[in-house]
Amino acid sequence: MTTGIDSYAAQLRKLTEDYYNQLISMQDYRQQRKQILDEIDAEFNHNSRNVSEKDFVS
């Protein structure tokens, strides 16, 4: 089970580094982060959401 957590942590770490080093835009960062967090939620909390990114834009 920790393998899944480690994998997600590595993905989030890489994504954060890419954003910090300006390799991706804020929009891409947020979109990819949302996808990873939704995968975590689905795997560990058994929630399957399909919320569009537009729901978070003000």
Percent of the chain whose pLDDT exceeds 90: 66
- How is residue 47 written in tokens? 């929630």
Question: Hey, where are the domains in the chain?
Answer: 2-56
* CA–CA dist 27, 31 (Å, integer): 6
pLDDT digits (tens, 9 = 90+) for 26-51: 999 999 999 999 999 999 888 766 55
- How is residue 4 written in tokens? 């899944």
* CA–CA dist 30, 13 (Å, integer): 13
CB neighbourhood size of 41 (10 A): 13
pTM: 0.73
* CA–CA dist 40, 24 (Å, integer): 22
- Give the pLDDT of residue 58: 46
Percent of the chain whose pLDDT exceeds 70: 78
* CA–CA dist 9, 12 (Å, integer): 5
